[in-house]
Each structure stands twice: as C-alpha cells, then as structure tokens.
Amino acid sequence: MKNSIFKGAGVALVTPMNEDGSVNFKKLRELVEWQIENKTDAIIACGTTGESATLEDDEHKKVIEEVVKQTRNRIPVIAGTGSNNTKYAIELSKEAQNLKADGVLVVTPYYNKASQDGLIKHYEAIANNIDIPVIVYDVPSRTGCKVELETFKQLSKHKNIVAVKAASGDISQITKLSAECGDNLPIFSGNDDQITSIMSIGGIGVISVLSNILPKQTHDICQFYLDGEEKQSAKLQLELLDLINALFIDVNPIPVKEAMNLMGFDVGPCRMPLCNLNEKKLEILKQILKKHNLM
C-alpha cells in the first residue's frame, strides 16, 4: 500500500472566526490541541469545512502554518490546496510543502468542469511538482466535476497520488473504485454517514465533519473497524446517524459551526455568502445536540 498519510478519522477542521470575520488564530490553536487530546488521527486544514473558498491567500497559508506548528508532528497535517486553476493549485501545494504539511488534499477543479483527460493532467501536474503525497477529493455535488473510474485507475499509477476522499455518495461507484484500484488508491470516506460502509469495502477511514464535535467517537468508529470489531463500529455509526444528519441540515460548514458555538467552542460565524441557520433548522440542531448530551 502507498503512504496514505494516515488511517482512521481525520478532522476536516473548521476555521474559527472572530466576530469581525477575521481568522481567530488563538482559537485555531486551541482546537488543534483539543483534537489531538481526543484521538483525532489527522488534521485537514483549509478544506471545504475550513471555508477555504473565502480565505484570502495570506490567511490560507497562515492557517496551514499555525496548524502545523501547533501539531508539532504528533499527528499528520494535510493541507487543502485545490483550485480550478492548475497553476495556482501547484503554487499552493508547494507552499504547503514548504510549511511542512504532511500531504495535500486537492479537490477537483470546479466551475470550469474539466474533461477526464484534463483531470488526469491537472492531478499529475500537481503531483509532479511536490514531494509530499496528494489525496484526490471527489465531491461532484459541489464542483460539478465527477472523477470517472478510468480516471481514478490512471491516477492510481502515480507514485505520489496516494488516496482518494470519496464524497460522491455513490456507494456503487466507490465499490468499483475499491475493486479496481485496491491498495494503489486507498479510500477515505468523505461522508460521515458512510464510514463503516466504505470501510467494509476496503476503505481506511474518514475525513470528517463530525470529528469537529466528537473526535473520540469518530476515531472509535474507524478504530473498531480497523481492529476487526466491525459490529462495534457499525453500532456506533448508527447511534450517531441522527447527529451526522443534523450537521448537514444546511450547507457545510454552517451547521457544524452553529453546533460548536452552542457547545461553547466559540468558533464564530461563517463568512458570507454562508449565513446562520434559520430558526427552524437551528431548533432541530439544538434538539439533536441535547439528545446526545452535547449542550
């Protein structure tokens, strides 16, 4: 198997904001420490949940830098460096390498909707220009760009493309991906409601939103499975399913930031155009958090 960077539950970490919308770096360092104390297996900085789309260049790099510094090599740090501009994605990936990130998470190009040949060229260009591992992030519901099976097979041949975050929700496609690529392209679930499902077909963990509020439990879902305790893994997955669904009652990361604020983490608001939950959705989220004794 390639160096997939980690196995288990990696948190797709929120980027905490001050009330004026600036990044709260003090809180960011506190969150990293709390995650490590609660057994998170890796930290993903500046992903979708980290609001990478509305971070300025300097902020993006500073968040990666601060997370790496606070982590102090205790667990891997993976930096979100995707872009629909290949040149910029290469530059940002090089910067992540310079900042000592352990790998990069690269979302498929969005809006310009690359062809499958274009996707191969895009990912190979990034992987050829850095020495740290690349995780392909397939999330067509956000990008409008789906990675086809033959494309995954081609990308799996590159020594520096080491895994995929599979967030298509298409378990049939993900099963075929596992069957065709096997250890050449290990799979992380990109959806918290499919952790055990994807691990049952060879997946090695999750890149998780849920881990922002329940890092230990999300770690345990994965670790149970890796330890051969599949029933325990599935039991915990199902026990948390209503909470997982509540964290996607609106566009991520709106609900998880609301949840964290209700739990006392004070991570601040999302940046526009993302806005707070409406009262109806907020009440549903509150009731689920209370049910799980989280507020």
pLDDT per residue over 146-173, tens digit each?
999 999 999 999 999 999 999 999 999 9
pLDDT digits (tens, 9 = 90+) for 83-117: 999 999 999 999 999 999 999 999 999 999 999 99
**What mean pLDDT is predicted for residues 67-73?**
98
Q: Does the annotation count 137 as an active-site position?
A: yes
Give me the DSSP letters along 7-54.
-EEEEE----B-TTS-B-HHHHHHHHHHHHHTT-SEEEESSTTTTGGG
Note whether 164 and 136 are within 8 A (CB): yes
What does the pLDDT read at residue 225? 98
pLDDT digits (tens, 9 = 90+) for 38-53: 999 999 999 999 999 9
Residues 6+ apart with CB under 8 A from 57: none
**What mean pLDDT is predicted for residues 277-293?**
97
What does the pLDDT read at residue 1? 67
Residue tagged active-site, from 7, 137, 225, 257: 137
36, pLDDT greater than 80: yes
pLDDT digits (tens, 9 = 90+) for 189-248: 999 999 999 999 999 999 999 999 999 999 999 999 999 999 999 999 999 999 999 999
Residue 290 burial (C-beta neighbours within 10 Å; 0-12, 13-18, 19+): exposed
What does the pLDDT read at residue 70? 98
Q: Does the annotation count 121 as an active-site position?
A: no
Question: Alpha-carbon torsion 147, 149, 151, 152, what sign?
Answer: positive
Provide φ and ψ at 165, rounded to 5°.
-90, 110
Q: Beta-strand (E) ranges in the chain?
A: 8-12, 42-45, 77-80, 103-107, 134-138, 161-166, 187-189, 205-208
Residue tagged active-site, from 7, 27, 165, 257: 165
20, pLDDT greater than 70: yes
Question: 8-229: CATH homologous superfamily?
Answer: Aldolase class I (3.20.20.70)
Q: How far apart are CA 150 and CA 153, in angstroms?
A: 5
Note whether 7 and 205 are within 8 A (CB): yes
6, pLDDT greater than 80: yes
